[in-house]
Chain A
Amino acid sequence: MVARAAILTLLVSLGAAAVLAQDQTAPGSTVPLAPRGQDAYPTYPDPGRPRVIVPENVERPGEQVVAGLSSDSIAITASFDGSEILIYGAVKRETPIPDGPPLQVIMTIEAPSQSLTVWKKERKLGIWINTKRVEVGAAPGFYVVATTGPLDQILRPEWDQRYRISLPLALRAMGGNNQVADVVPYTAALIRLREANRLYRLDQGSVKLVDQTLFRADVRLPANLIEGDYKTRIFLLRDGRVIDVYRAPIEVRKVGLERWLYRMAFDQPLLYGLMSLAVAVAAGWGASGIFRKLRRA
C-alpha cells in the first residue's frame, strides 16, 4: 500500500485527482461498470439475446440451456489480481429425461483473438537463433474449456470441428506464407506455452451437473487479462453431439486510473511521454534534494 500511495501522490501532483476519486469507487475486481438495479441481476433469461439453434435439432429441441453468470463485466483496477466467475444454469425440458447416455455440459470462455507468430530456434554457427516461423491469424488471448468429464469422451470430433471447442481448433486462420511443411509442432508449442502461463486451460470435470438438470462451474480468470469483449459458450451434449448452445458476453474493461493512463498513452502519446519524463525528472530531483537535507540534519 505504501508504494501505491506514493504513486497516487505523484500523480495527484500532475492533476489526476479527479481520476483517483473515480478509481476508489471500484475497489473490487468484479464490480460492475455501471450500478445496476435488483431487476438486472441475475442475467437470465435474457429475452433480448437471440437463441442459437443447432440446425440438426430444429425438429427436436427437447432440451435447452438457461444459464447465468455471476457478473457480465469485469473491471480491471490498479489492484486487479484475477477474478472468479460463477457460471450456473439449468436444463429446460418439456418431456422426461431421455434414456441413453447421460447429459454432458461444456463451457468455454474466450478472450478476443489476436494474430501472432510462433518462432522456432535452431543452432546456427554455434548459437541458437529464431529461424522458422508459423503465423497464426487469430488466436484467443485467453481460452478456458470447462467440462463435466474427459473432453475426448463426451465430444465427438465432428462436433468439435463445427463449434471449434477444443484448444487446437480454437486457433484459427493459419497465415499463408509459412516456411514449414508441418505446422502442428508450432501450434502445439503455442498451446504448451500459453498453458504454462495459465492463459489456455482445459478444466476437465470442473463443471458440476446435478440430476442432469442443474449445473455450475467456478472459472478462475488470470491476472494478466487483456481488455475486450469475452465470449462465453455453454454446450449441452448427449452421446457426443451438441444439442443446444447458449452464448453470453463478458465485458472486460480497465477502469479509473488504469483506463485514464491507457487512453492517454494511445490518444495523446506526446503528452503521455512528457508526463512520464516529468515524473522521472521530478523523482530524481526530489530524491537528491531530500537526501541532501537528511544528510545535513
Chain B
Amino acid sequence: MQIYLPIAEVSVNAFTLVGLGGVVGLMSGLFGVGGGFLITPLLFFIGIPPPIAVATGANQVVASSVSGVLAHVKRKSVDFRMGWVLLAGGLAGSSVGVWVFTLLQRIGQVDLVVQLSYVVFLGLIGMMMLQESIRSLRRSRNPTFRKRLHQHNWVHRWPMKMKFRASGLYISAIPVLLVGLAVGVLAAIMGVGGGFIMVPAMIYLLGMPTKVVVGTSLFQITFVTAFTTLMHAVSYNTVDIMLAVLLIIGGVVGAQIGTSLGARLRAEQLRILLALMVLLVCGKLALDLFLRPDELYSITSGAR
C-alpha cells in the first residue's frame, strides 16, 4: 500500500516503513540501543531526503526509548542524578549539532561527515565491545578469575566531583557532561539517540555498573531526541509525522518482542551479536567511502 508523505513529498510503501520500524525496534529491545543508527541510513536508502530522515529518525527514537525507560523506572535501574547531568550536556550538544548540520548542508558535506562519523564511532565501539565480550565469555568459563569492582583511571582524577549513589560512583561531573555533549551532537547530526556510543562510554569510561547503564542512557536519550525533534521541526520543518507514525507502529511492537526475546538469551552472546552487527554496518559504510562510487554526481536542493 503506497502512502504519500506530506513533508518528505515522496510516495513509499507503508508496509516497508512498518517493517523497517519493526526490525529496528527488535534490535532496540534486544540490545537496549535506540536503533537510530540503523534507521537513518535505511531511510536514506529508500529515498527519503537526508534532512527529513535525520529529523524523523530522532522522533522515532523518542517513541522506542520512552517505552524502554518506563520499564527501567519500574525496575529502579535508572540513575536519575547521572541522567540529569548527562542531559545538561546533551541539550547543549544537540543545539550545537543542529547548527552544524545546517552548516554542513550548505557546504554540501553532510553525507561525508555523517558517513565518516558512523565509520569512526561504529568501528571503535564495535571493536571495544567485541574484545570485552569475548574476554568476559572466556572469564565465565574460567571461574578462578576474579573481577575488580571497577578500574580507577584518569576520569577519577578530574575536579568537580559528584556522588552518583545509584551507580555507586564518586567521579568528576566533567567527563559525564562531555559524554552527554558528544551524544547530543551525534543525535542532531546523525538522527540517532546515541545509545550505541553512550552505553559503552558509561561502562568503560565512567565505570558505571551495567545494571543501571541501559536505563540511564534511555532516560537521557528520550529527552535529547525529543529536544532534537523539536529543534528540527521548528527551525527547518523537516519532521514528517506520517513517516514517524509508520516507523513507530513497527518500532514499538518490535521493541516489545525484542525485550522478551532478550530475556531468554545470555548477556555475553547478545553483546557479541551487537558488536558484530555494529562492525558490519561500519564495514559497509567504510567501503562506500573508499571505493569509487558508481555515480560521482549528486544533487542537493537550493543554491548558495
Interface residues of A (CB under 8 A from B): 1, 3-4, 6-7, 10, 76-82, 114-123, 126-130, 133, 135-137, 175, 177, 185-186, 189-190, 192-194, 223-227, 254, 257-259, 261-262, 265-266, 269-270, 272-277, 279-281, 283-288, 291, 295
Interface size class of B (residues with CB under 8 A): 35 or more
Contacts A81-B11, A119-B108; A4 near B3 (Cβ below 8 A): yes
Q: Is the CB of B62 within 8 A of A3?
A: no
Q: Is the CB of A190 within 8 A of B299?
A: yes
Q: Is the CB of A277 within 8 A of B59?
A: yes
Q: Is the CB of B246 within 8 A of A270?
A: no
Quick check: is B78 within 8 A (CB to CB) of the other chain? no
Q: Is the CB of B300 within 8 A of A119?
A: yes
Report the separation of the CA atoms of residues A126 and B299 in the bound assembly, to the nearest whole angstrom: 22
Q: Is the CB of B237 within 8 A of A4?
A: no
- With a cutoff of 8 Å between Cβ atoms, the chain B residues found around residue A190 in the complex are 297, 299
Q: Is the CB of A3 within 8 A of B1?
A: yes
Quick check: is B293 within 8 A (CB to CB) of the other chain? yes
Identity of the chain B residue whose Cβ is nearest the Cβ of A264 in the assembled complex: B241
Quick check: is B203 within 8 A (CB to CB) of the other chain? no
Report the separation of the CA atoms of residues A280 and B2 in the bound assembly, to the nearest whole angstrom: 22
Q: B188: shortest Cβ distance to chain A, in Å?
A: 14
| Additional A-B contacts beyond A6-B245, A118-B298, A269-B237 (19; CB < 8 A) | A3-B17, A3-B18, A6-B249, A80-B2, A114-B302, A116-B303, A121-B298, A127-B116, A130-B111, A130-B112, A175-B303, A189-B296, A193-B295, A269-B233, A272-B233, A280-B63, A280-B244, A284-B66, A287-B252
Selected contact of B299 from candidates A76, A117, A129, A262, CB within 8 Å: A117
Quick check: is B280 within 8 A (CB to CB) of the other chain? no
**Stretch touching chain A among B128-136, B156-164, B253-261:** B253-261
Selected contact of B246 from candidates A3, A81, A135, A175, CB within 8 Å: A3
Q: Is the CB of B245 within 8 A of A10?
A: yes
Identity of the chain B residue whose Cβ is nearest the Cβ of A123 in the assembled complex: B292
Contacts A7-B246, A285-B67, A287-B255; A273 near B9 (Cβ below 8 A): no
Complex A-B, nearest 10 residue pairs according to Cβ-Cβ distance, in ascending order:
A273-B233, A284-B66, A223-B11, A287-B252, A189-B297, A284-B67, A280-B63, A135-B303, A280-B62, A80-B4
Residues 32-90 (chain B) with a chain A CB within 8 angstroms: 47, 59-60, 62-68, 70-71
- With a cutoff of 8 Å between Cβ atoms, the chain A residues found around residue B295 in the complex are 189, 193
Selected contact of B290 from candidates A115, A126, A265, CB within 8 Å: A126
- With a cutoff of 8 Å between Cβ atoms, the chain A residues found around residue B60 in the complex are 280
Identity of the chain A residue whose Cβ is nearest the Cβ of B14 in the assembled complex: A3
Selected contact of B7 from candidates A78, A81, A115, A262, CB within 8 Å: A262
Chain B interface helix/strand/loop/mixed = helix
- With a cutoff of 8 Å between Cβ atoms, the chain B residues found around residue A4 in the complex are 1, 3, 14
Report the separation of the CA atoms of residues A69 and B134 in the bound assembly, to the nearest whole angstrom: 68
Quick check: is B248 within 8 A (CB to CB) of the other chain? yes
- With a cutoff of 8 Å between Cβ atoms, the chain A residues found around residue B65 in the complex are 284
- With a cutoff of 8 Å between Cβ atoms, the chain A residues found around residue B71 in the complex are 288
Quick check: is B109 within 8 A (CB to CB) of the other chain? yes
Selected contact of A3 from candidates B15, B289, B291, CB within 8 Å: B15
Report the separation of the CA atoms of residues A215 and B17 in the bound assembly, to the nearest whole angstrom: 42
Quick check: is B152 within 8 A (CB to CB) of the other chain? no
Report the separation of the CA atoms of residues A189 and B249 in the bound assembly, to the nearest whole angstrom: 38
Contacts A133-B108, A261-B6, A287-B252; A281 near B66 (Cβ below 8 A): yes
Report the separation of the CA atoms of residues A6 and B260 in the bound assembly, to the nearest whole angstrom: 24
- With a cutoff of 8 Å between Cβ atoms, the chain A residues found around residue B244 in the complex are 276, 279-280
List 18 A-B residue pairs with CB atoms under 8 Å apart, sorted by A's residue number.
A1-B1, A7-B246, A78-B4, A115-B301, A117-B304, A118-B297, A128-B291, A136-B303, A189-B296, A189-B297, A193-B297, A223-B10, A270-B233, A272-B241, A280-B60, A280-B248, A285-B70, A288-B70
Selected contact of A261 from candidates B68, B234, B242, B302, CB within 8 Å: B242
